[in-house]
Amino acid sequence: MFIEYTWLVPLVPVLCFVAIGFLGKKMPEGGGPLAVFGALFACVLSVLISYEFFTSSAYADPGYVTAQITWFSIGSFDINIGYYIDSLSCLVMMFASFISTLIFVYSIGYMHGEGAKKRRYYAQVSLFLTGMLGLAISSNFLEMFVFWEAMGLCSYLLIGFWGFDHPKGDDATDVAASAAKKAFLVTRLGDVCLMGGMFVLLYEFGSLDYAAVFDASAMAAVDPSMIMLGSLLIFGGVIGKSAQFPLLDWLPDAMAGPTTVSALIHAATMVKAGVFLVARCFPLFTQNPEVMLFVGVIGGITAFFAATMALNNMNIKKVLAYSTLSQLGYMFLALGAGGYMMALGMQTHDHHLMAIGAIGYTAGCLHMVNHAFFKALLFLGSGSVIHSTGTEDMREMGGLHGKMKITSITMLIGSLSIAGFPFFSGFWSKELVLETVMHAGDYGAEGYLFTIMWILAIVTAFMTAFYMFRMWFMTFKGKPGHGTEHCHGESPKSMTVPLIILAPFAAALGAILLFGFDEYVTIGINHVGEFQLGSGHGHGLEGWLEDIFMSIYTYLTIALVLAAIGIAYFMYSKMSVDPGKLNKNGSSMIYRALSNRWWFPQLYDQIGWKLGNGVARGVEFVDTQVVDGTVNALSSAVAGSGDSIGKMQTGNMRDYAAVVMFGIVSLFAVMLVLFYFMGGA
């Protein structure tokens, strides 16, 4: 009843995009309310679709509903367009549209002073939401890729929103424009990989439909090494989109855009697309344990490196950007570790191992949802702070708690959640992630890599708690700075209300999802040997509590988190410990490494200059010398010979007559000679 209308979910926001794009100037607030309506419509419809799907018989078997029409055909390949609803699409659809609705409402307050540019902003964010929703319901890889690219385009446009006329002057304009370019080009690098992966799949499976590719018998018939190649290429696209190591550097730069855009990119859309794709391709990726090992290791390294970079950053938004990278790393680590165990379990037909592996999937997906809520809350909160203080530098904040109580308390909730403070959302999913990774270390020949990743992840959990509370204490406690004096009190209602709505979700959603709905976020092999999302057996409240609290390592993490919060308190709130002593007032090697982002930008530049320039020079040489040379030589040879032969055309009739006669005489001579020698008549 509602599922048939799934196509409306991305269609309504895209219609809003068109309407705002053309008519936004005449609408109130540049079309903001229409954008909110589009997102809200998508949200309500997503909830209805999800409810209908979860109560339908298709949910139990085969676990998805799909319908499609032929888009175009090339030879024997049919490319379809349609929708594919399973528990993962429902999950992504619901949280993306819900959070986007709140962000759009918040934007009305935050972007109020932007004047005519608001039309552009609301049109683009509507398209951005379309991209994410379309991605979630796509029924095949090519359709997914179209929406994937739409998001890439919107991220470029929105990060560079102030690129033409930045409120903070020309330098900031340059920064915004180059950040937008960087985001576009870096993600483009991944997209090329993703395209390559799609070609591999199309070649091997003859179809790009999820239902056809994830079919167990189809996967069994295909050469595993080709599946591995396809999976790795697809993951290359994910690395670009979700800003994983080594393509992680665009996301911190993307902070040049408006804060609401950052919230949108980090919480609801864009970077979550990568996590979604890995979860979506779980059946494919688990065909090879090595692929999942790679996913997990990339995630673990990203989680660790990004967290270190957040430790000493002074920009409130950049700290949050690094924390996003780090949390995304957690998600990939969980998916990788879970998938690794699942893949090993499938090879050895070990159902116990597969069940443990499935927890990794659950952990990754739950962390994705939890992260969406607390990161949206944190970004919107930081936006509220920036809005009222006029600065992003945390050294100029401080002591804001008294002036902005709502922002302060909601951000505290978000920080507690992301730090993994016990019983907040982030705690549950993070514990599951850590537990999965720890288990993965016990299996397989390369399992020890996961043990290393587990240690990194625990250190990351400590660092996360530290930098999040460093941020909170520096902003809301401690000595007031210039920005605090400039602060004119709490932000308008349209900004605080979304914060107040998001706060309980960020605090409690993790527990509700884990204890009440865990069976919807599982993956397993059903009775016909196919992968199936959802309708697994939930562990239930006691199962999970036992899982989490029977492990001694849980208490280790809790202790580390509490210690980190304590250190942050003494350093930045009570000021009894001077952080300057630890880093020799910013001159120690490691401090400089961190503030230079481990020299990643320089590395990119070096690669760009040395490699890119070298390749370009080589290509230029081939182009100007070899290609052009061949063509020029050919043409001048033709022209030259034509010129010289043309001289024979004297126009003098007697010359022609002489030539003709000479020809005839020679012909006769040749024939005579031939007759003479061949003995003809």
Partner 1 sequence: MIPIEVYLIFAAVLFAIGAYGVAVKSNTIVVLMCIELMLNAANINFIVFSAFTTDVLGQVFVIMSISVAAAEVAVGIAILLNAYKIKNTIEADSLTSMRW
Among 75, 115, 489, 646, binds partner 1 (CB under 8 A): 646
Rounded to whole angstroms, the Cα distance separating 147 from 202 reads 19
Q: And the tokens for 418?
A: 């992301």
Region from 140-148, 173-181, 443-451, 645-653 binding partner 1, contact rule CB under 8 A: 645-653
Nearer to partner 1, 116 or 653 (CB): 653
Q: Which two tokens stand for residue 622?
A: 């081939």
Considering only the stretches 133-141, 354-362, 409-417, 643-651, report the one whose residues sit in contact with partner 1 under the rule CB under 8 A: 643-651
Stretch near partner 1 under the rule CB under 8 A, chosen from 130-138, 437-445, 542-550, 642-650? 642-650
Nearest residue (CB) to partner 1, 57 versus 650 = 650
The least CB distance from residue 679 to partner 1, in Å, is 24
* Smallest distance from partner 1 to CB 191, Å: 56
Is residue 23 near partner 1 by the rule CB under 8 A?
no
Q: Is 681 in the site for partner 1 (CB under 8 A)?
A: no
Does residue 115 touch partner 1 according to CB under 8 A? no
Q: Which is nearer to partner 1, 616 or 657 (CB)?
A: 657
Tell me the closest approach of the beta carbon of residue 663 to partner 1, in angstroms: 13
Contact pattern from residue 471 through residue 510 relative to partner 1, giving x for each residue in contact according to CB under 8 A and a dash for the rest: ----------------------------------------
- In whole angstroms, the minimum distance from the beta carbon of 642 to partner 1 comes to 9
- Interface with partner 1 includes 644 (CB under 8 A)? no
User: Which H helix or E strand runs over 523?
Assistant: strand 523-525
Between residue 649 and residue 678, which ones bind partner 1 under the rule CB under 8 A? 649-654, 657-658, 661
Q: How far is the CB of 651 from partner 1 (least distance, A)?
A: 3
In whole angstroms, the minimum distance from the beta carbon of 195 to partner 1 comes to 53
What's the min distance (Å) between Cβ of 658 and partner 1?
A: 5
**Binding of residue 638 to partner 1 (CB under 8 A):** no
Task: Considering the complex, state which of residue 115 and residue 646 has its C-beta at the smaller distance from partner 1.
Answer: 646
Nearer CB in complex with partner 1: 72/662: 662
Q: 225 — phi, psi (to 5°)?
A: -70, -30
SS3 532: strand
**Closest by CA position to 186, among listed 103, 244, 259:** 244
Calculate the alpha carbon distances from 530 to 64, 533, 534 in Å.
12, 10, 13
Residue 522 · residue 360 · CB < 8 Å: no
Any residues with CB less than 8 A from the CB of 367 and at least 6 apart, and which?
Answer: 327, 330, 331, 334, 426, 429, 430, 432, 433
Name the segment binding partner 1 (CB under 8 A); options: 88-96, 418-426, 440-448, 648-656. 648-656
**Is the N-terminal amide bond of 492 cis, ω within 30° of 0?**
no
Alpha carbon of residue 624 to chain centroid: 39
Sequence-ordered strand ranges (E) for 146-296: none
- Triad 184, 179, 271: Cα angle to 5°: 55
Q: Show the site string, 591-630: x = touches partner 1 by CB under 8 A, - = not.
A: ----------------------------------------
Q: Which is nearer to partner 1, 581 or 654 (CB)?
A: 654
Q: In angstroms, give the least distance from the CB of 77 to partner 1.
A: 54
Q: State the minimum distance, in angstroms, from the CB of residue 652 to partner 1.
A: 5
Which amino acid, residue 560? L
DSSP code string of 434-459: HHHHHHHTTSSTTHHHHHHHHHHHHH
As given in the structure block, the two tokens for residue 332 are 């990939």
Number of residues that bind partner 1 (CB under 8 A): 10
We find the least distance from the C-beta atom of residue 646 to partner 1, in angstroms, to be 5
* Rounded to 5°, angle at Cα 421 from 401 and 264: 70
Structure tokens that stand for 592 in this block: 């400089």
Least CB distance to partner 1 at residue 666 (A)? 14
The whole-angstrom separation of Cα 466 and Cα 449 is 26
- Write out the H or E segment, with its range, that includes residue 627: none
Piece of 202-210, 317-325, 350-358, 644-652 that binds partner 1 (CB under 8 A): 644-652
Residue 330 CA to residue 282 CA, distance in Å, equals 16
Peptide bond preceding 13 in cis form (omega within 30 of 0): no
Q: What string of DSSP letters covers 279-318?
A: HHTHHHHTT-HHHHHHHHHHHHHHHHHHHHHHTT--BHHH
Closer residue to partner 1 (CB): 611 or 661: 661
Task: For residue 58, give both structure tokens.
Answer: 């298709």
Q: In angstroms, what is the minimal distance from the CB of 650 to partner 1?
A: 7
Minimum separation from the CB atom of position 653 to partner 1 (A): 5
How far is the CA of 336 from the CAs of 10, 341, 352, in angstroms?
A: 30, 9, 17
- CA 527 vs CA 102, 353, 531: distances in Å: 41, 17, 10
Q: Determine how β-strand 523-525 pairs with β-strand 77-85.
A: unpaired
Q: How far apart are CA 471 and CA 312, in angstroms?
A: 10
Contacting residues toward partner 1, per CB under 8 A: 646, 649-654, 657-658, 661
